[in-house]
Structure 1
Amino acid sequence: MPIRGLASGLAVLACVAAAAGVVAPAPAAAHPFGDPQTVAISLDAARPEVVRVRWKVGGLDDLTVLGVALGVLPSDRVLLDGAVFYEDSDAAAVGPSPRFADYLRERITVTSDGRECAGAVAPPTDLARDGAAVDYACPGAVGVVDVAVRMLTDLDPAYQTLATGPGGARAVYTFDAYTHEWRLGDAVPAAGGGAGTGRGAALQIGAVVGALLLLAAAAAVLARRRRVAT
């Protein structure tokens, strides 16, 4: 077939394929049904009052969507059809952003003994690969804590987060179940510790009073015997 005829034939085939909807697949749009995001929850070995939570995004295109939502990236990074093209510069822009740090502290919270722990975000060195870590300083040594994770569920409630903790503990965070309890240390809750101390003090006082009563009774018996003997 002459080259001109071959070119014409390919053009016709291309038109037919386009009309039939047979086109090259478009880049995947960011959505909550890809790889899940993760959090790793642990206790700082050197600081028993500090809980560390490391968050990692599931799909890199979700970093782009988050950056657009936070106003760190321009809105045209998400196309009209929802397609998202992730670029390495996206993570570099989102990672050090104060808006991202505020978002982490707002969407991930830690509570110990009924009191919220203050979070401090460490500047990520490689957000796409290593994620971001937040250190939560609690009022005292940590035993059992409540960790709430609501990352990205404000963008779409279908997002889920897979969580891991000490000793192989695991949990799944969802839009409706965003708080889980984690045992990270052996510290006794302040309320329980106070109650135990009160009970111990009461027992000690009771023992002292009982001993004094026994001594008084013994002294009375001894005095009575002496009077009888005389």
Structure 2
Amino acid sequence: MVSHGHRRRRRTAAARPLSALAAAALAVASVAFTPAPAAAHPFGDPQTVAITLDEQRPEVVRVRWRAGGPDDLTLLGVSLGVLPQDRVMLDGAVDYRHTDPATIASSERFTAYLLRQIAVSAGAQPCAGAVEPPMALDLKGAIVDYTCPGPVSTVTVAVRMLTDLNPAYRTLATGPGGQRAVYESGKASHDWTLAGAPAADGTGLGRSAAIQIAAVLGGVLVAAAGAVVVARRTRGRRLRMRKTAA
């Protein structure tokens, strides 16, 4: 006769593979859905660019650039000679000060840098850029209006911001109708549709993301269930072999 205590021990032992596998499945799922750390460039959040067409002036393309973080602005200011060299330490640390954005924004060197690192062309014709005086460079970024020879529907925009300081810098760009692109070293140019771009409400993207999440979760659960079945069958064979041997 099998004692109640022995039955409890058998049930506990049988439950161990299920508990362990369930924990493993949860761990896999948590890894799968943990957002990856920002890796746009070595110094923190990525810089961004927003590209739009002026509603009142169909020949004007507006580009708004924002630095990823205040340290990036300080580093840029030092490289332009607007800020002193000792603001960047020997170990690479940056001594940011709240006056840095205003100092950089008021510099003609920064204006020239923007126009040199961001370029817009319509066909083979370059568009002339004009920088709006930045009011809050660290919060609102800098705006450059590019006037093309005539009304535009598609343009080529090149962005090389900060890649001259470090090739690991990247820029996340957005355009009309939900268009997106990533600028990086070796990939500084992208074509944008500004007039007639289809509207995007993000529904398709959300549905796609939900399907992908469900698929991954389903795969994790199926794998865990399969492992439990295999574990139980293996344990059953071992018990039968022990009884036969006895």
User: TM-score, structure 2 length as denominator?
Assistant: 0.62
Counterpart of 1:135 in structure 2 is: 145
The question of whether the paired residues in 2 share the 8 Å contact of 1:145 and 1:184 is answered with: yes
Aligned-pair distance for 1:79?
1.1
Per the TM alignment, residue 149 of structure 1 is displaced from its structure 2 partner at its CA by: 0.3
> Secondary structure, in 3 states, of the residue corresponding to 2:152?
coil
What is the 5 A alignment of 1:48-197?
48-185=58-195
| Per-residue deviation, 1:86 | 1.2
Root-mean-square deviation (CA, aligned residues, Å) is 1.0
**Unaligned ranges ≥5, structure 2:** 1-40, 197-246
**Structure 1 residue 81: Cα displacement:** 1.4
- Determine if the alignment matches structure 1 residue 44 to structure 2 residue 30: no
Deviation string, structure 1 residues 153-185 (Cα, Å, up to 9, x no partner) = 000000000000001100000101110000112
> Aligned equivalents of 1:33 and 1:143: distance in 2?
35
Post-superposition offset of 1:33: 4.5
Deviation at 1:58, TM superposition (A): 0.2
TM-score, length-normalised on structure 1? 0.66
Structure 1: 5+ residue stretches without partners = 1-30, 187-230
Percent identical across equivalent pairs? 63
Answer yes or no: is the 8 Å Cα contact 1:61–1:86 preserved in 2: yes
* TM-fit CA distance, 1:139: 0.2
Q: Return the alpha-carbon distance in structure 2 between the equivalents of residues 80 and 169 of structure 1.
A: 40
For the 8 Å contact 1:40–1:165, the answer to whether it is kept is yes
Q: How many angstroms apart in 2 are the aligned matches of 1:37 and 1:115?
A: 27
Q: Partners in 2 of 1:142 and 1:87 — Cα distance?
A: 41
Question: Partner of 2:114: helix, strand, or coil?
Answer: helix
Question: Runs (4+) of structure 1 moved beyond 2 Å?
Answer: none
For residues 200-211 of structure 1, the aligned pairs below 5 Å read: none
Alpha-carbon distance in 2 for matches of 1:128, 1:151: 15
Residue 69 of structure 2 contacts residue 138 of structure 2 at CA under 8 Å; is this kept in 1? no
Contact 1:32–1:160 (CA under 8 A) maintained in structure 2: no
